Structure 1
Amino acid sequence: MGEVGVDAQQPRQEIRFCRAPDGVRIAYAVHGSGPPMVVDSCWLSHLQYDWQSPVWRHYLAEWGRSNTVIRFDERGHGLSDRDVTDHSLEARLGDLEAVVADAGYERFALQAMAQGGPVAIAYATRHPERVSRLVFYGSYACGVSDDPEDEQLNDTFDQLIKVGWARPDSAFRRVFTSMMIPRATEEQHVWLDELQRVSTSAETARASRRQRRLADSSALLAGLEVPTLVLHSRGDRMNPFEEARRLTAGIAGARLVALESDNHIVLEDEPAWQVYRAELRDFLEADVPAPREPAPERPQTLEQLSPREVEILRLAAVGMDNDDIAQTLTLSVRTVERHLSNVYAKLDLHGKSARTAAVARLLTRA
């Protein structure tokens, strides 16, 4: 892992890596402080390149002021493994699950950016106990379209990527840039032109776009029972505003905020940016615990653990992973994970080092 900083005024991010269920290595970054917020990745990302972005930088700084932010490069993109062909909804959901498990947070707000919508919906459906708040930004529930004109347009985009994605001349990539941030400066346009080239290969860009267009989580919307905020630019040319209306109508109690912008990525000097900041901050403040009197201190000892928790911890101490423990004790892997989470909570241990610290306490007592 490593740390990357921009300047003294910027927060710092820590780059980490984990493995998806199919073995693909996924890069993720953590920065900021406060209640955790996981950002479900959009189509184009590069954890290090984004960190210095004149298009994205204000988002990263804003999020980190009030939250511990966990964001990641999807498979085939950025610092994650590049030689990947499976960009299906299930594979992308596995990436998100792997990042969350490795980061070690039990409950968090989840913000879906752009094409991350179907994945976030599927995750919140599969793990409702983990998601405290759900935010969609410029996103949608279904990438499938039955409009022949949409298919023709996507075929044209596919050819543009094939012919021009890797060229030094950014003329072909500027088509996508102009759709994402039509009201940007030339500096911002040039940066997004370059992000396309450095974030992934032309082959992966084409494959991932094709498989994203098959992603459909719309049937899951009615089953979501989580506070939900939908933020969307009214003039968005990448994902039309109608997608935000469908999301909001499909989730009970969801609230829609229209951002008065033509940019898919709202820029820092737009009035819409201040609306986004205020709405997101107010929405996420519900996850900030109210001040309370400190509880009397009590020793965090192994005596607090149940016999089953001690048994699982002993197996972890001899090097077994969760799958091995589950097989040995005839339990599900999720049950093992739940027992270990209880161990960490009782011993006041957090983050990636919690397992190591818990085992060390067991061995010290022995």
Structure 2
Amino acid sequence: MGDRFVSEAALTTALRTARLAVGDTGSRQDLIRTVHRRGYRFVATATVVGDDASAGTAQQADSHSAPADGPSGPDSQTIRFCRAADGTRIAYATVGSGPPLLKAANWMSHLDLEWTTPVWSHWLGGLARNRQLVRYDERGCGLSDWTVPGFTFDHWVDDLHTVVEATGLDRFPLLGVSQGGAVAVAYAVRHPERISRLILAGAYARGRQVRAQTEAEREEAALDLDLARVGWLHQDTRFLRVFASQFLPEGTPEDWAEFTDFQRQTTSPANGVRFLEEFARIDVSAIAHRVACPTLIIHSRDDERVPAAQAGELAALIPDSRLVLLKSRSHLLTAFEPAWDEFLAHIDAFLAE
């Protein structure tokens, strides 16, 4: 108005606040829907109130699926803290009710803020439906300590055990997503008496530097890591949005902006680099054959962050495993793609066996 302008950042913040108030996210647009190249539309069911014959009837502004009733939400989860052997404070949360499902930590998590991001909000509601979901923030990110004495793969596995002991879980199914899949594999090998079933989603046995076989692959892996270092240390928005698009290739610019904002809130730039360096060195290929429980490996067929060949490698290594490939390009499935409902259905069926 006049010489006053509303910046894109201000509009994004205001829209995120409005969606948070009504339970929407950039991905789950049940009430406020993005209309590309036009703006935004309110699509909730409206009730006409008046004296005419149509009073009291519901009018649909736009066809959409109503959100399924779920047992969980940010106000119904309980957040607690425990300490690892080296004194690191680990935050963990429980939400929902029923038989437990423990999710191994993976990076870019924040027990509180996950409810407002298109990356994780639908995952939490879907995984906690008819069960108790237990999850925690990895050391170095989220609500767990960011300044820590150790930052290695073995520390991550030990932290998982710390959470298991704190929650009092005895025998339970374990879910590992992305690099959390390798942590879950290592834990299942170290504590076979604890794990009843293992679910690996978008996971891999070997990090990018480890699995690089040719000189070209090694150079590409090194370049990818160098770009990540520069992007994270300088908080380069251009890089962070490219990073976001690898996780949400079908996302909108608004989704990528929210994802980028979420990235910045999950950890420090220095820790972001440490995470990526450690991910590249992950290797559980020598122990995966010792997983003793039934295992479901589920992966997007055209995953742009972790190739589906990595899921095939895990399936070949783990004896009692089955592989499911979903029609998707997403590393982390979004709420609006058909593969998301298939993903939940496969997990429900697998845990019900």
TM-score, scaled relative to structure 1:
0.73
Cα–Cα, structure 1 residues 127 and 6, in superposed 2: closer, same or farther, change >3 Å?
Answer: farther
3-state DSSP of counterpart to 1:22: coil
Residue 178 (structure 1) aligned with residue 245 (structure 2): yes
Q: Deviations over 1:276-301 (max 9, x none)?
A: 01101111113xxxxxxxxxxxxxxx
Letter in 2 for 1:65: R
3-state DSSP of counterpart to 2:286: helix
Letter in 2 for 1:271: P
Higher mean displacement: 85-94 or 199-208: 85-94
Preserved contact between residue 161 and residue 202 of structure 1 (Cα < 8 Å):
no
Match of 2:205 among 131, 141, 161: 141
How far apart in 2 are the matches of 1:164 and 1:226? 40
Which ranges in structure 1 are unaligned for 5 or more consecutive residues? 287-366
Match of 2:318 in 1: 251
Higher mean displacement: 54-63 or 165-174: 165-174
Q: Residue 195 of structure 1: CA displacement?
A: 1.7
Residue 45 (structure 1) aligned with residue 109 (structure 2): yes
Match of 1:234 in 2: 301
Residue 60 (structure 1) aligned with residue 124 (structure 2): yes
Preserved contact between residue 88 and residue 215 of structure 1 (Cα < 8 Å):
no
User: What does 1:99-138 correspond to in 2, within 5 Å?
Assistant: 99-138=163-202
How far apart in 2 are the matches of 1:81 and 1:110? 23
Q: Residue 174 of structure 1: CA displacement?
A: 0.8
Q: Residue 151 of structure 1: CA displacement?
A: 3.6
Cα–Cα, structure 1 residues 149 and 212, in superposed 2: closer, same or farther, change >3 Å?
Answer: same
Q: How many residues align?
A: 283
Between structures 1 and 2, the one with greater helix share: 1
Letter in 2 for 1:181: L
Preserved contact between residue 86 and residue 149 of structure 2 (Cα < 8 Å):
no
Cα–Cα, structure 1 residues 169 and 127, in superposed 2: closer, same or farther, change >3 Å?
Answer: closer
Preserved contact between residue 296 and residue 350 of structure 2 (Cα < 8 Å):
yes
Cα–Cα, structure 1 residues 179 and 187, in superposed 2: closer, same or farther, change >3 Å?
Answer: same
Q: Residue 66 of structure 1: CA displacement?
A: 1.9
Match of 1:88 in 2: 152
Q: Residue 169 of structure 1: CA displacement?
A: 5.9
Preserved contact between residue 91 and residue 136 of structure 2 (Cα < 8 Å):
yes
How far apart in 1 are the matches of 2:228 and 2:137? 20
Which ranges in structure 2 are unaligned for 5 or more consecutive residues? 1-20, 24-68
Letter in 2 for 1:173: L
Match of 2:77 in 1: 13
Match of 2:288 in 1: 221
Cα–Cα, structure 1 residues 253 and 174, in superposed 2: closer, same or farther, change >3 Å?
Answer: same
> Could you say what the CA RMSD is over the residues aligned between the two structures, in angstroms?
2.1
Cα–Cα, structure 1 residues 126 and 120, in superposed 2: closer, same or farther, change >3 Å?
Answer: same
Q: Residue 22 of structure 1: CA displacement?
A: 1.4
How far apart in 2 are the matches of 1:215 and 1:202? 21
Q: Residue 156 of structure 1: CA displacement?
A: 3.2
Q: Residue 199 of structure 1: CA displacement?
A: 0.8
Letter in 1 for 2:349: D
3-state DSSP of counterpart to 1:184: coil
3-state DSSP of counterpart to 1:190: helix
User: What does 1:70-81 correspond to in 2, within 5 Å?
Assistant: 70-81=134-145
Q: Deviations over 1:293-346 (max 9, x none)?
A: xxxxxxxxxxxxxxxxxxxxxxxxxxxxxxxxxxxxxxxxxxxxxxxxxxxxxx
Match of 1:194 in 2: 261
TM-score, scaled relative to structure 2:
0.75
3-state DSSP of counterpart to 1:219: coil
Q: Residue 167 of structure 1: CA displacement?
A: 5.5
How far apart in 2 are the matches of 1:146 and 1:158? 13
Preserved contact between residue 115 and residue 140 of structure 1 (Cα < 8 Å):
yes
How far apart in 2 are the matches of 1:242 and 1:125? 22
How far apart in 2 are the matches of 1:6 and 1:49? 15
Q: Deviations over 1:91-142 (max 9, x none)?
A: 1111100011101111111000000122111111111111011000000122
